Structure formats: structure tokens, C-alpha cells
Structure 1
Amino acid sequence: MPFARLASATTPTCHIGLGLAAVGRPGYINLGREEDLGADRGVDALRARTHELLDAAYAQGVRYFDAARSYGRSEEFLAEWLKDRPGADDVVVGSKWGYTYTADWTTDAERHEVKDHSLAAYERQRAESEALLGGRLDLYQIHSVTPDSPALTDKELHARLAEAAAQGLTVGFSTSGPAQADAVRAALAVTVGGEPLFRTVQSTYNVLETSAGPALAEAHDAGLTVIVKEGMANGRLADPNAPEALRSVAEETGLGCDAVALAFVLRRPWAGVVLSGAATATQLASNLHAPAVDLTDDHLSRLAALTEEPHAYWERRGRLPWH
């Protein structure tokens, strides 16, 4: 795991991180949020829930926490938690820029976030992130790079990111969409002064969507730390929505569908960190059983048969409602 701050984590669950997308704002596309969060989506309620999750994660050995400018108040909630727990200096903090949260703390906004990969957006959001997280920000990623993203060709932006890297900030990118593999390979080719710019990549990979796998293996071989998001496919791989084949494997292993789904990702030799997107402490505890799941070759074969065509997967994801 080349990202030095992550590599220094030695807890049993250091390969699982906690993502705050589901709890940093009142609306998101994860299935089951009505049951997970209930009716109270106020700022204070989600702040308390986020702090509860962070406490539970830290107590169980999780050391990587993932936020973003577009995750509502996730950076704010995380910064408050860090300030109140000075002993948690071994926590590694990652965030992302490139989307602006626009839902005004509602679940029914016409647009929940607006994408902008310009240099101006980077400078504005970097200042916003630093105002909240200060020196605790370890990793800053471009949010959801696609092959046509201007962030892949903007030389002035690359120079500014390289300056940040020279000052100690790790620079990375995340990907989304059916052409993730192309985006990863394009980003691997970005250099400044003959040196690769990016040190981490965060991509969607799960039982249903495996198309980025070969490119992520290439990124790993090139020295990048690979962070996997959406290992639960936005709740499609958790009870009660899990497909029958996954349910069957879970029953045979004696653990939950969620743990099995995350274990499938953890088995990839290139996976440095796999994110839990839990919204409750109970979900998080179940997710953290993933390293203990014993998947046989037969299990892996049955799970691999669930893979969907990438465009179909992302088209369905795009239709998930914000709630």
C-alpha cells in the first residue's frame, strides 16, 4: 500500500475505510435510507450519527475516513470529531473536490450536486476543505473523473496539484461511470516534470460491476494505492435487496450478504482500502466481518456470475432515487 499514511496503519481492519457519503447529507441514493436514518434528517441528528459511526469505526480498528465537498457537511462533521479526539492522530483523512453540494439540506432538490473540474473550482474547494480540516487532510482527490474530464488535460491544474503534493498532500482521483477503466488509464498517463501526478485512485468495483478491475490492477502495479468505493452497489448487495446467489453464499459462510460482498472485493490483490458506506453502527459492525469471510473458489465463481454489463449497471444506478 504505497500511500505512506495508510501503509502505517497496522490494525486488523486497516484495509476497510469508512465513507461518509450516506450520513453527511440528508439525501442520497443508497437503498433503505428510510429505515436507516428515519424521519429526522436535521443537521444535529446527522452530526450525532456521523460521530457515532466514527467512534464505532475507530474502536474497531478503522483508520481511513473518506469525505468530499459534495457530501453535505461530511468534512465539517469529521473535523469536529477529530478536534474532540486528540488521541486519534493515527487517523488518515481523505476528501474530494470537483462537485459542489447544491441540495440546501433537502432530499427533493432538482440537482443535488454540480460537477466542475476547473482550476477555479479546485482552488475554491481546496480552501474550503483546508478551512475545516486544516493539516488533518492527508489525501485530496478529483471527484469522479471520466475520460472526457478537463482535469486530465489541464496543465495549469496539474501544476497546482503538483505544488500541493510537493508540500505533503497526497493527490489522487476517483472515477465513476461505464468507462472507468479508460479514465484510470488516462490518469495514469498524467505526469508533471516527468513524474506521475496521482498517487491514489478510488473507483467503483463490486460483484455487479467489475469492469474497472484490469485497469485498477495496472494502477496498483504502477505504485498507486487503490481505494474501492460502492462495494455494496448502493445497497443492492445488502439484505433485503441482495440477489439469490449472494444470499446463498452468505448462508453457507454464516455471515451477512454485506460482509460477503465486501469480502469479494477484499480478495482482489490490488485492493488497498475498501470503503464501508454504513449508515448505522450495526451495519458497520456487519461490514467489518468481511476480512473473516472464507470464500471458496466455488463461492467466487457463483458471485462472479452476477456481473452486469457496465452500461446497464450504471444506467440502473442513475435511476436510483435520492431519498
Structure 2
Amino acid sequence: MPFARLAHATTPTCHIGLGLAAVGRPGYINLGRDRDLGEDRSVDALRERTHELLDAAYAQGVRYIDAARSYGRSEEFLADWLSARPGLDDVVVGSKWGYTYTAGWSTDAEKHEVKDHGAATYERQRAETDALLGDRLDLYQIHSVTPDSPALTDKELHARLAEAAAGGLTVGFSTSGPAQADAIRAALEVTVDGEPLFRTVQSTYNALETSAGPALAEAHDAGLTVLVKEGMANGRLAAPHAPEALRAVAEEISLGCDAVALALILREPWAGVVLSGAATLTQLASNLHAAAVDLDEGQVARLAALAEDPRAYWERRGQLPWH
């Protein structure tokens, strides 16, 4: 498992990864994006921004980088960065397949991505990822599995994924939506020749959306590495949008709301890697302070009260504009 390399890392930030969803394409749903990226969202500008973030993250101990076929040119930007720094053998690289980027480098496209979990899409996107990342790819995940996803029942797909795993690639899945827990538990039952297929799970979990927690604990107990995405709830937990309780705790410890929000996740014993979705160097530096935050039980209890009904959470997320 490539994540065994992280287990031996000595930096406090080894359990924080950098996700490239916010910087691999010009449009995304994070609040505050206009302020973060400004007007220049050309390919060259976002490539430079991505490389600056990767340099800063690596210098501060981050060793897991997360991309996806649907994150615009994130794989390309990451591949360029890795090629220019051939000595970084301790970086763990993950990507995802199952969504195709369709926005054409626009922020106002009718559709930004199209989902398809069929075997043909896997083969096409695996070839595209391989052309960019080659043997630097450690983890390949099915993007946003839901309980009704054909990826949970497609035996042909399972055989192809098992073949990739036999060749040394770690196979995982990510989840989205109000029924994440059901999707996680269904995926834990997927086997090939009596052996579990998936070795990692990446799910949305944050102070507002905690419904996947028990299932993620079960996945951890079953031997899967758990990665957490959207720890900032697409900007809803960052200043100035953060709830009053989160802002109060941040004031008490003299750090940003983002550091507190990510620290709340890091304290979970099942959380292997928590992703920062930073789009600026300032955001990244603040996010990484999470590794040093020690919340007391009273603070944790106050933050726990922020959890929303998952259906309400995902309905609101679905209404966030691409910008």
C-alpha cells in the first residue's frame, strides 16, 4: 500500500494531503472563488498556481496529492511538476476516474462534468491518466460512488480493477451524496476471488456533514485507508461564512476557522489523510496549522452541534454555483 509510506513520515502534516479540484480548472463551486483566483484563469496561470501550491505543500511536509480526470488539467499540472522534480520519490499520487470534464475551460458551461462508471470509461480514462502520470500513479479511485452506482455490481469492471491491483496499483473509491454510508458499506462487500477489491475510501466529512463517520470507522477497521475530502464544506466553514460556534473556537485558540475545521477531522482515529483544497498559499499555510490544533472536549462538543441533516447538506451543496 503506498500509504504505508505516509505512516513512516515524521512531519506533523503527513496526514494532510493537497487536493487539486480548486486549481485544476477555471470553474468550481467553492465559496470565495472569485476572490481566491481573480480574473486570470488561463491554463498557464492555473498551472503556475498549482505548482506554487505543490512546492509549498511539499516543503511543509505534505506527501499525498489528489487529482482526478474531471479536475480539468490537474493531472497534467501534477505530471509537469513531478517531471521537473524527479527526486521526489516519497510523494503519494492519487487520481480518480468516472467523471469526464466537459466545460472546455469555461466557468459558465452548461455541464462541467459527466458521470459514467462503466468499464469502457474506466479503460479510456485509465489510458489518459497513464499517459500523464505513468508509474507515478499510486492510487486510482472510482469517482463519487453512490448506492445505485453500477460500479458496485459490474463484475467485468471488478475484474479489470483487480487486474490493475495485481499489477501494483492501489484501487479505491470515493463517495458523495446523502447516502455515503450505504455506498461505503456496499463497497466493502465487493470482492474478487474472495478478496476485498478496494483498499481505500475517500468521502466527504466535515463539521456540517458527519453522516459517513460510522461507516468510515468500519472501513478503517476492515483495513482500508480513509481519505477525507471537502473538510471545509466547499468554503462554508471558512471565514467569513463560518458558523458562530466555529468562529468562537477559532478565536479561543487564535487560529483560523479552517485550521479548526480540519483539526476536528484529524482527531478521528479512522482519518488517514485529510485533504486541503487550498487555492492560495495563504489558505494552504492556514490549513496546515490544523496539525498543531488540540481541541478540548468542550470545544469538540460545541462543534458537533453544527452537524446538519445529510439531505439538507447535500441539497445546499447542489445549489452552489460554478464560478
On the 8 A contact 2:31/2:236 being kept in 1, the answer is yes
SS at match of 1:100: strand
State the distance in 1 between where 2:219 and 2:231 align.
Answer: 18
Give how far 1:8 is off: 4.0
Aligned to 2:216: 216
Give how far 1:176 is off: 0.1
Aligned to 2:242: 242
Question: How large is the RMSD of aligned CA atoms in angstroms?
Answer: 0.9
Aligned residues: 323
1:114-157 superposed Cα distances (whole Å, 9 cap, x missing partner): 00000000000000000000000000000000000000000010
Give how far 1:4 is off: 2.8
Aligned to 1:310: 310
On the 8 A contact 1:3/1:224 being kept in 2, the answer is no
Which residue type is aligned with residue 39 of structure 2? A
State the distance in 1 between where 2:153 and 2:174 align.
Answer: 16
Uncovered stretches (5+) of structure 1, i.e. residues with no partner:
none
Which residue type is aligned with residue 251 of structure 2? E
On the 8 A contact 2:226/2:271 being kept in 1, the answer is yes
Aligned to 2:274: 274
Give how far 1:6 is off: 3.4
On the 8 A contact 2:3/2:92 being kept in 1, the answer is no
Task: Work out the percentage of aligned pairs sharing the same amino acid.
Answer: 86
Uncovered stretches (5+) of structure 2, i.e. residues with no partner:
none
On the 8 A contact 1:232/1:258 being kept in 2, the answer is yes
- Does residue 1:150 correspond to 2:168, yes or no? no
Residue pairs, 1:155-166, within 5 angstroms: 155-166=155-166
Residue pairs, 1:88-167, within 5 angstroms: 88-167=88-167
SS at match of 2:219: helix
Aligned to 2:86: 86
On the 8 A contact 2:2/2:170 being kept in 1, the answer is no
SS at match of 1:202: strand
| Structure-2 change in CA distance of 1:8 and 1:124 (3 Å) | farther
More displaced stretch, 5-14 vs 105-114: 5-14
State the distance in 2 between where 1:69 and 1:275 align.
Answer: 17
More displaced stretch, 269-278 vs 6-15: 6-15
State the distance in 2 between where 1:81 and 1:156 align.
Answer: 35
State the distance in 1 between where 2:176 and 2:273 align.
Answer: 17
SS at match of 1:121: helix
State the distance in 1 between where 2:104 and 2:59 align.
Answer: 32
1:155-209 superposed Cα distances (whole Å, 9 cap, x missing partner): 0100000000000000000000000000000000000000000000000000000
